[in-house]
Chain A
């Protein structure tokens, strides 16, 4: 068991090193939020003025709000659609399985810029010809995001679903439980990590998407990544870093608060957030 302890230490060391790798640029972002220079990449001195400037730029705040809204709705829609499809596809041998799986992969294979322009043409034409179809707006951004987001959810959830064995579901079905009950009591708890991974990943990808959003947006909707890209030509202002820093601090505080709260109540954080075992 001495060996095992050493292996565990080694793995933990690696895990912490990778986390440090993930946070290295974030640390730089935070430090440069206090840069006095008008351009974020040249350090010329300390200043906290960008934090007030950030909030005096309603454009940034609006863009951030829009991105959060799209990302959250996208993650919910994609998780529901994707999980349902993964359950149906997971253990079926139907002849629809292969073409449908191929379609799912295809959404990931198409280069983003191409599907972005094609989607814009489609949305414009669809609205011109069928008034019920939404005009270019944040809604069309959402519609486009859900396509590849649900593909990601299907891949993640199905991978877990196929690898976790089906005995429990079979037993539940055999005992006459309807699919909804089987899902809630047997499958969902075991799929929780995958569903949560899918939710987090699609939220993140949507929140940070640029190309697809640009081309499916109307003239007036600007997401956060669009705002950042649009400002690059004349240098990104440290105000963008200031907003990122504040966001980071809020998220970190939220996570820390949740941990503290749950530990105080003696609950298992993982189970509480993941839906229990």
Chain B
């Protein structure tokens, strides 16, 4: 504390905090410089107006952003250094519940006896994203959907993957690597994928709809005959409608969203429920005559109820992927890489496919004899002719999220 230098920050805070503050400010500056080529003032970087401790608490969010920015800066340099480091003794996986076979964890423990594995759960990707953004989870592995990767990655919340620690990465199908939402698999590898399709009770609905356009056409005709359902969520309703209308679901153009709302508004009263939590069980009981669904659920619904036909749509539809990622502040990054590598083992990927019912991106797994029943099911192993027309919703900027959210609110306010 002799003379102020470049990386130092002066503000009203207890002296013992100073080194920490200085480090935060430097990291934030570096992150900002790395990403935008702009140099922030130290104060701005921390968002502190020199208001002392209350401001420190009050503007805590800025501190968290700054430290996470630091995470990005740190991770890009740390990525190369991970190889050769010793394996840590713990691993905390943060995932949807029932989305990972307990056998897989046992297998990993057998191969890495020194690592204690624990899995905890979230109920929605929104919850995951908000918790990662607010900080403090100490997770080593998370499973965000493809439309969270841009937000989490650009904000520096994700650890850059060290491919040297992921030899099994070579097992993945080329069409499920280097995807638009994460070029070069910088932050993510696909865990499993799916699409958003629909299903109907063929004893009620006599037409044989195969496209999203036909699905929407049938809603007004059959809404009086029973319950119709769409999945609650902005990407599913607004994104889904935009894809059906042939528009870019990640458009930054307000007019496109207005068009989607205009299309949906007269349909609103014919969509009886917006439910993504219990629709699957209700559909298995035959309570929904026409509904949107995630591919894995559709497979189960069709299996449980013989009156239901499932559809992997012809023409445009949404495809999605859930991904293995490592948070930037993961306390056990080496163990996390070992986990990712383990999951890309062909046999492990098959176990997982059998447990979750969702297709794996692992090329070698599909060649295994055990994968036959999945190969033959066109609701799971969607032919390339259809899949080629399916689009990812990526949500590349906050503006897209906001436009979509607002369009969704307008739709939901319509009855």
Contact = CB atoms under 8 A, between A and B. Distances in A.
In the complex, is A directly touching B at CB under 8 Å? yes
Contacts of B63: 125, 128
Contact of B130 (A42, A215, A226): A215
A42 B284 contact: yes
Contact of B280 (A120, A124, A127, A235): A235
B56 A222 contact: no
Contacts of A117: 130, 134
Interface in B76-107: 92, 94, 96-99
A227 B98 CA distance: 12
A271 interface: no
B277 interface: yes
A222 to B, nearest CB: 6
Interface string B120-133: 11111001001100
B285 interface: yes
Interface string B271-284: 00000011011101
Nearest to B13: A129
A122 B57 contact: yes
B285 A42 contact: yes
Nearest to A235: B281
A125 B17 CA distance: 12
Contacts, number: 98
A231 B285 contact: no
Interface in A92-150: 117, 120-129, 135-136
A39 B137 contact: no
B262 interface: no
A218 interface: yes
A222 B99 CA distance: 17
A6 interface: no
B192 to A, nearest CB: 14
Given A121-B64, A136-B136, A215-B131, A229 B17 contact: no
Given A128-B67, A232-B277, A121 B98 contact: no
Contacts of A218: 136-138
Contacts of B131: 120, 214-215
A21 interface: no
B303 interface: no
A41 B56 contact: no
B61 interface: yes
User: Chain B: interface secondary structure?
Assistant: mixed
B327 to A, nearest CB: 10
B277 A233 contact: yes
Which of A123, A129, A218, A222 has its CB near the most chain B CB atoms (within 10 A)? A129
A42 B282 CA distance: 8
A131 B134 CA distance: 18
How many A residues touch the partner, as a band?
A: 20 to 34
B134 A215 contact: yes
A174 interface: no
Contacts of B57: 122, 125-126
Question: By DSSP majority rule, is chain A's interface helix, strand, loop, or mixed?
Answer: helix
A125 B66 CA distance: 11
Contacts of A45: none
B135 A220 contact: no
B269 interface: no
B97 A233 contact: yes
Nearest to A211: B127
B121 A129 contact: no
A41 B278 contact: yes
A230 B119 CA distance: 12
A129 B123 contact: no
Interface in B278-336: 278, 280-282, 284-285
B281 A230 contact: no
A126 B56 CA distance: 9
Contact of B98 (A126, A219, A234): A234
Interface in B353-391: none
A232 B130 contact: no
Contacts of B44: none
Given A41-B285, A121-B61, A232-B278, A222 B137 contact: no
Interface of A: 39-42, 117, 120-129, 135-136, 214-215, 218-220, 222, 226-227, 229-235
Given A218-B138, A226-B123, 20 more contacts: A41-B282, A42-B284, A117-B134, A120-B131, A124-B135, A125-B56, A126-B57, A128-B20, A129-B17, A136-B136, A214-B122, A214-B127, A219-B94, A219-B137, A219-B139, A220-B118, A229-B123, A230-B96, A230-B97, A235-B278
Interface of B: 17, 20, 56-57, 60-61, 63-64, 67, 92, 94, 96-99, 118, 120-124, 127, 130-131, 134-139, 277-278, 280-282, 284-285
11 contacts: A42-B285, A120-B136, A123-B136, A214-B123, A214-B131, A220-B92, A222-B120, A222-B121, A226-B121, A230-B96, A234-B97
